[in-house]
A and B are shown apart, each in its own frame.
Chain A
Amino acid sequence: MHIPPALKGRNVSRRQFITGGSALTALYALRPPKQACAFSHTSGIVPQDASNSFDLTIGWANVHILGKPQRVPTMNGGVPGPILRWREGDDLSLNIHNTLDETTSIHWHGIRCPAHMDGVPGLSFAGIEPGARFTYRFPVKQSGTYWYHSHSNMQEAMGLYGAIVIDPKEPDPNSYDRDYVILLSDWSDVAPHTIINKLKFQDDYYNFRQRTAVSFFHDAKKSGVWPTLKDRMQWAGMNMSATDISDVSGIIYTYLMNGCAPAANWTGIFKPGERIRLRFINASAMTFYDIRIPSLQMDIIQADGNNVEPVRVDEFRIGVAETYDCIVQPQGNQAYTIFAQSEDRTGYARGTLAPHSGMSAPVPPMDERPVRTMVDMGMAMHEGHNMGGMDMHNMPMHQPAKTHAPPLNVENQNRAAMPINRLADPGDGLQNNGRKVLTYADLRATHPATDQRPPSREITLHLTGNMERYIWGFDGKKFSEATPIPLRLGERVRFTLINDTMMEHPIHLHGLWSELENGNGLYNPVKHTIIVQPGGKLSYLVSADTPGLWAFHCHLLYHMDLGMFRTVVVS
């Protein structure tokens, strides 16, 4: 959608989406925002002390974020739920009481616990029945920033999530004076099942920024009539859309920071000169964010709960379910905007770091929305001459191998003919933007890998989908048609992922670490969720050290629910 100037830097609300008329839209844009925080102003503050015993209640609550209160499933009545502070080495007991009228569950995202404590109905346990209680008990064997969320009936997409902060047993190598959780989520008054239903009918239902006859003239002015026409014909000839960035957009989403809409301006207080630790968690259903704090640099110190050598950046992209910790040290007696624009630039989450509450800093305009290229289609050799930061000439040619690429069929729309390593590519929309943007190639663990054996075998999976039919899967098959992925208890394997689709997928393996092979050998970064860029190929090592059934899936919730899911069996 072309956003009228009056709307720039403001979320397009659902009401505007429905009315559509631009005059009406402009009128609404002029009205004072009614958006507020879902929870108290203390959200984002890490509790004073860790605990090893928790009594938590899952129940319906009326949450005021948009104009009208919404009845959503919550943990202890808030969105997000309470921040749980644990201590490495403790034996935990988390007693959950389900007061909903439907089954629920809590999955501890990134936590290495026994399989029956992992909280995935069907795989770990049967779920928590209405009115029932369930006590999770497991030892905490790790530290860092994590999060929890429901794994039942799209409750996660409706607000059942929260942060976990685990104190390390050893002294923390990073010193800081303040500690804030910055939990990002996408919020809508459209029910998740309705969203799926619309996407099944029309995959670009929420995309109002497609190429049109009008935009043709803009494009032609920029790059010439013939190249513009050729480019459009090429995309149309594949039945694909270069403007397909996010399946669900700011048209219905309001992007929240710690449960606060942009206008509510979540604020973290600091004293000039203090070192502030910001624990970013992306608890969204479908949204990637590009995060920056204008006029502050961020030292990335942790990714997915595991410490990395500090990297100083201006900006970083956070995929759904990833976490990044950073240290900032604002010197000025002024406010700073924490700006998290959605990857498709249809909205942003925003908050403020300030010496006093009530202060705010300018909110920067959103960047240009990215447009997919042939690189994203896995055809880098055809057209990929202009990739930010990627030197195509040095790209090693993949050896011809016996092909296992899934066929094009009902469930698979594309094959990446030439998938490439995109670890040093910050991602679509971030290349060559003049800022220092974090890439996966920048991540280096501070500690060597615990399991230093080389892998004994390799598991190659293609990430596939059919946007038109809105079916997702691995190797051209959705979950219900595929067999589980078996691992031997104790073996170390290499997972190689090839993204045949034209979207990023954050792939999450439950219960086991994913050691991303980015060239750092024993110091490869250790993650629980790994973004595979479109047309990209990457690998990571997994030590199958915990037996049981583990979920392995794309963490874009509607991709997961429509088939991009496998059961990994360690036995």
Chain B
Amino acid sequence: MKTCLNRQYFSRFLLLCVSALLMASMVTPQTKAASMNHASMEGMDDMDMGDMDMPAKPKPPSGASSAHHAAQTTAHNKSTLLNPSAYPPLTPSAQWPATPPPVPKVHYVQHIHPVMDHNTYFHALLEQFEGRYTPGNSLFRYSGQAWFGTDYNKFWMKSEGVLDGHRRFSDGDHEFFYDRAISTYFDVQAGIRLDVDSGPTRAWGAVGVQGLALYFFDVSATAYFNNTGVAGKLEGSYDFLITNRLILQPQAELNFYSHADPERGVSRGFSDIDAGLRLRYEFKRQIAPYIAVTYAGHYGSTASMPRNTTRMAENGPEDLRFTFGIRSWF
């Protein structure tokens, strides 16, 4: 399979895709919205409490003057709708001032809150749960995350790994974060990452952002650090709706390291990529089987090392496979 692909071309294409995802994430909702507002419209979206002049008051429905609405509006409305005195101006007095009264301390009966807008929720998403097929050399890979908490504060876990036919577990990456919502679509995350699998164990501190970039791109970028150096991971995906249930999802994950770690098959610089093009069908929203083409690529100093450590089951440094799996969440 891989031989029919131009190796360089393919990895560059993936790099391009991911950097496009990241650039999209840089455009924060705030700046985007601001740029959509016409400069002349700034500040026109509100009425001030002390603003008493008539033009800012609600206006008679202008539709009354259009032919269509003349027909829709009854006769008495037509006359009064155009009467500006129908909107009395604010008339404060000594007894009824224009300023709001101080906010009193409210005692809720038995401290009962009338609504439950501060609840905690628990959700988990198993995005990849898949077999990557090659005759005699198939792999199983999973990647998922779970979070528990309120709108603003959550405990967030991510885990992924690959299991081969010899029950050897590789690429085991398990992360635990405190997650804080910071903007309309983005959260910041701080915590730890543990590389635990059949290979040697590594531990990292971790800081990152995760969220929904404009144009509905799901993205995350995380930096890792420990006494040997730093590392980075970029992830992005996009749900392309073919129909309301048939969804094509391009996805990619890129890893960078400041130092090589041959025991774990990690190269300095751009070390590896794991990408997939998954076509799922949401029989139920929460259980969707998929077929996919997945690609795992290893680059740099360790790319051509014999697979004697953790990724022995792969078909060399560039591994393109037919894949099938199930996406699920609750």
- Interface residues of chain A, those whose CB is within 8 Å of chain B, are 1-2, 18-21, 120-127, 151, 197-198, 200-202, 205, 208-214, 233, 236-239, 309, 311, 378-379, 381-382, 388-392, 394-405, 407-419, 421, 423-425, 432, 436-437, 439, 441-442, 444, 453-460, 462, 466, 468-469, 471-473, 478-480, 483-484, 486-488, 490-492, 494, 496, 498, 517-521, 523-524, 537-539, 549, 551, 553, 560-563, 565, 567, 569, 571
Contact = CB atoms under 8 A, between A and B. Distances in A.
Contacts of A208: 244-245
B29 A408 contact: yes
Could you tell me the dominant secondary structure of chain A's interface residues? loop
Given A483-B103, A539-B57, A417 B45 contact: yes
A417 B77 contact: no
A392 B63 CA distance: 8
B8 interface: no
A519 B101 contact: no
A417 B36 CA distance: 9
B118 A480 contact: yes
Interface in B242-279: 242-245
A437 B71 CA distance: 11
Given A213-B240, A424-B69, A549-B106, A400 B43 contact: yes
Interface residues of B, number: 96
A396 B59 contact: yes
Contacts of A424: 61-64, 69, 72-73
A210 B244 contact: yes
Interface of B: 29-30, 32-33, 36-38, 41-49, 51, 53, 55-66, 68-69, 71-74, 76-77, 80-83, 85-93, 96-104, 106, 108-118, 121, 123, 151-152, 181-185, 212, 214-216, 240-245, 282-285, 329
9 contacts: A122-B113, A123-B109, A239-B185, A390-B66, A401-B51, A415-B33, A418-B44, A456-B92, A562-B117
Nearest to A213: B242
A337 to B, nearest CB: 24
B91 A468 contact: no
Contacts of B96: 456-457, 488, 490-492
A400 B44 contact: yes
Contacts of A498: 45-47
Given A442-B74, A458-B47, A480-B113, A519 B61 contact: yes
Most buried by A among B61, B80, B102, B185: B61
A381 B298 CA distance: 52
Contact of B92 (A309, A457, A551): A457
A399 B88 CA distance: 17
Contact of B46 (A197, A212, A404, A421): A404
A291 B66 CA distance: 25
Contact of B108 (A20, A123, A210, A472): A123
A390 B81 CA distance: 14
